[in-house]
Structure 1
Amino acid sequence: MKARIGLTEKNADTVAAELAKLLADEFVLYTKTRNAHWNVTGDNFHAMHIFFEKQYTQLEDLIDSVAERMRKIGHYAPATMKAYLELTHLTEYSERTNDGLGYMKDLLSDHESIIDFLRGNITPFAEKYKDYGTSDYITGLMETHEEMAWMLRSYFR
């Protein structure tokens, strides 16, 4: 059954396609954060291990909310690793040592990339595609990523 929520089918299709990219980015970032949680080493292992756990737990909730936003506007969410890797703007880790600051730099860059993507879609979602709900939703999501990025950035002087 089609969602009758005041969006044209074409506008909903376009917004859903952008949300699919966002979902892929969130899932890749979640996986990279889990990797950091599992594999970080060093003198501050325990603090880093707990920090990364808090971050991946937040991302877990974000992933679910993005997929549910897609469903609210009448589309199915991609849910395979193949699809995520085809849709994402992010890259997987290259070979690295397992130091916490190295992980943090990479994760910070990914959060900032997602923030840029979200910021770039706020106005078009509202004005061009008349999807004020998704525009508002991604504004809140952007603020969450800004806070997560701030927490990562705070480890650097």
Structure 2
Amino acid sequence: MSSHINTGIDAADRAEIAQGLGRLLADTFTLYLSTHNFHWNVTGPMFNSLHNMFMTQYTELWNAVDPIAERIRSLGMPAPGSYAQFRSLSSLPDVPDMPAKALEMVAILASGHEAVARTARSLYPAVERAHDEPTADLLTQRIAVHEQAAWMLRALLET
């Protein structure tokens, strides 16, 4: 932790927010891996639409990890970046076995996006208490992306 940072957020608040952002980073990266995995391995009559949808989603997730990690660094903390760290910090389960059906993949990803939105939303009390508007803005953007993705995925599951 850097003691020379003086941006108006005290060290304890910066540490708490950075820890929460570390969980968000781990969730985002874990969901990215699952989404990319499913993009590679989806089959069936919805192959083309799901293959393209998953590509759009994993690209968005990949583009999100850097701003989250850089916000952690801006707060003066190291960003987690190893598989071991992500595994211990993430609220999402790994997907070690390939789902047999495309709609199982869709359900796993919908649940994953909802979980990431919950992780992001859980940071608001600390962020608001510290008046950390840049992190609040980042969280608002991430929640919107994950809620929309979850909605689109859930729409595919309706019968």
TM-score (norm 1): 0.92
Match of 1:17 in 2: 19
Cα distance between partner residues in 2 of 1:81 and 1:32: 14
Match of 1:140 in 2: 141
Cα distance between partner residues in 2 of 1:98 and 1:62: 29
Match of 1:46 in 2: 48
Match of 1:124 in 2: 126
Is 1:25–1:89's contact at 8 Å kept on the other side of the alignment? yes
Match of 1:72 in 2: 74
Match of 2:155 in 1: 154
Deviations 1:16-61 (A, max 9, x none): 0111111010010000001100111112212211111010000001
Match of 1:99 in 2: 101
Gaps of 5+ in 1: none
Match of 1:3 in 2: 5
Q: CA deviation at 1:99?
A: 2.2
Q: How many pairs align?
A: 156
Partner SS state of residue 13, structure 2? helix
Match of 2:111 in 1: 109
Is 1:28–1:84's contact at 8 Å kept on the other side of the alignment? yes
Cα distance between partner residues in 2 of 1:115 and 1:46: 27
Percent identity between matched residues is: 33
- What letter corresponds to residue 56 of structure 2 in structure 1? K
Q: Which deviates more, 29-38 or 41-50?
A: 41-50
Q: CA deviation at 1:96?
A: 4.3
Cα distance between partner residues in 2 of 1:117 and 1:92: 16
Partner SS state of residue 41, structure 1? coil
Deviations 1:59-94 (A, max 9, x none): 001111111111121122111111100111110115
Gaps of 5+ in 2: none
Q: Which deviates more, 30-39 or 68-77?
A: 68-77
Cα distance between partner residues in 1 of 2:98 and 2:26: 23
Is 1:123–1:135's contact at 8 Å kept on the other side of the alignment? no
RMSD across aligned positions (CA): 1.5
Partner SS state of residue 43, structure 1? coil
- What letter corresponds to residue 149 of structure 1 in structure 2? A
Cα distance between partner residues in 1 of 2:5 and 2:58: 32
Q: CA deviation at 1:124?
A: 2.9
Q: CA deviation at 1:3?
A: 3.1
Cα distance between partner residues in 2 of 1:7 and 1:101: 45
TM-score (norm 2): 0.91
Deviations 1:115-149 (A, max 9, x none): 1222222233112x332321222112111111111
Match of 1:83 in 2: 85
